[in-house]
Amino acid sequence: MAIIFLSDGAAGIGGTLTAASIWNGPTSGVVTFQNAIKSHGAGALQHFSGASASAYVARLACLADAGRRINLNVSFNGYGGSGGSGIIRALNGSVTNFEIRLTNAGKLALYGGSSGTTLLDTSTITLSLNTFYRIALCYVITNTTISEFRVYVDGVLECTASNPTSQGTLASTLRLGWTGTSPGVNISMFTSDIYVDNDTSLADPGEIFVTNKRPAGLGATNDFAVVVGTGTNRWDRVAELPVNTANRYSQTATGQVSESYTVEAAAVGDDDLTGATLLGWAPWVHYAVVTSSGSTLASMIANNGIVAMTTTQASGIYQTIETIIASTSYPSGNNVVGLRSTGTTVDTHLAECGIFIAYTAAAALDPGPAYPRSRSSRYTQLRS
């Protein structure tokens, strides 16, 4: 089993998302970082329907027929529209293969088959408003006639389907939020703790949390010489939530130089991970390059190594990139996360960076009445 994608729902996100964010697929409507309504950690994504519109983000190359488990925490302040409103959707290009909808009665409805339009099953549970639930969608698709789907809510199997007729194949894009029919006017969906792996067992992945650890000290090399904006020390400029490109570091050298950082200790920051079981982690950077020639040269510093970035946009467009580290040990060293420049003078800008960590909690403590949880969900002591 390997982790495919991680996001805490907050870090690496600007005021309003663009396709250059960690959500690198098409986006629609109003999706923003917010920290007022959350299950823990720094915050969550708010998908806001406004005057009755879709509001979603998408991650490319995230899904595969061989099997995935999609796990996240989600809350709603209103129910879906007539016929249900999509909240988790799998697409092959622009074609829907399968999805979960929230009905106007507060049920979860699993759709699949041809173009994802066949109702396969409906949950027994009715979701309460303004309450966080953990939803897991697990599937394996062998071909158009052989496939399996399972939907869990807080570990309880709520929807199941086997071999729907003419099931769509080759889905690769994950879309989250109000993905189709709008739920109505001014309805919000909040998402966090987004975790995707390639386990094919169809088993519930369990209560997995995703948090962000921020830069906390100088790395082995800190050679981006242009200081932009304000900050108390070198690392707080690149540890902001939401992202703030007005405070950053930029290169001046004509050769490749690096800017690297340590990160907060396990017990420090948004979540206290003392005693937690780590499942894996992902360094991320929010950065830009100016010249098109530099777009293939910038590299991420991750776990004391160099990771090439093949999707860099030029012309100063900021974007967020992550890379998965298959390690269950807490990151250490002074090159945990950072950026290596292109080598073109004043071409590479580093605005923010950090690491996502997926973990299971060691002990139980409800986060409090301000952020209610459903059923028997259990939390470690979390700092908010």
Q: What is the CATH number of the domain that holds 273?
A: 2.60.120
Report the C-alpha gap between 17 and 47 in whole angstroms.
11
pLDDT at position 158:
98
| Residue 135 is assigned to a structural domain of this protein | yes
Q: Are residues 162 and 252 in the same domain?
A: no
Q: Are residues 55 and 76 in the same domain?
A: yes
Q: Are residues 110 and 228 in the same domain?
A: no
69-97 pLDDT, tens digit each: 999 999 999 999 999 999 999 999 999 99
137-162 pLDDT, tens digit each: 999 999 999 999 999 999 999 999 99
Point out the least confidently predicted range of 70-84, 271-285, 291-305.
Answer: 291-305
Q: Are residues 35 and 156 in the same domain?
A: yes
Check pLDDT > 60 for residue 19.
no
Report the C-alpha gap between 210 and 45 in whole angstroms.
13
pLDDT at position 45:
93
Q: Are residues 49 and 189 in the same domain?
A: yes
pLDDT at position 376:
43
227-240 pLDDT, tens digit each: 999 989 999 999 99
Q: Mean pLDDT of all residues in the chain?
A: 89
Q: Which residue's entry shows tokens 């907060």?
A: 264
If one compares 368 and 163, the residue with the highest pLDDT of the two is 163
Check pLDDT > 50 for residue 378.
no
237-260 pLDDT, tens digit each: 999 988 899 999 998 888 889 999
Rounded percentage of the chain residues whose pLDDT exceeds 70: 92
Report the C-alpha gap between 134 and 129 in whole angstroms.
14
> Which of 207, 234, 250 marks a domain boundary?
207
| Residue 378 is assigned to a structural domain of this protein | no
* Two structure tokens written together for 59: 């991650």
Backbone angles phi, psi at 217, to 5 degrees: -170, 170
pLDDT at position 8:
93
Query: 23 falls in which pLDDT band (50, 70, 90)?
Result: confident
Query: 310 falls in which pLDDT band (50, 70, 90)?
Result: low
pLDDT at position 179:
94
Q: Are residues 272 and 135 in the same domain?
A: no
pLDDT at position 379:
35
| Residue 371 is assigned to a structural domain of this protein | no
| Residue 218 is assigned to a structural domain of this protein | yes
Q: Are residues 131 and 232 in the same domain?
A: no
> Which of 207, 242, 258 marks a domain boundary?
207
| Residue 376 is assigned to a structural domain of this protein | no
Contact residues for 341 (Cβ-Cβ < 8 A; gap 6+)? 224, 251, 253, 256, 257, 258, 259, 297, 298, 347, 348
Check which CATH number belongs to the domain holding 189 and give it. Answer: 2.60.120.200
If one compares 293 and 338, the residue with the highest pLDDT of the two is 338
- In angstroms, the Cα distances linking 313 to 295, 320, 361 are 6, 10, 37
Number of domains in the chain: 2
> Which of 207, 223, 250 marks a domain boundary?
207
Structural domain for 322, as ranges: 212-360
Check pLDDT > 60 for residue 223.
yes
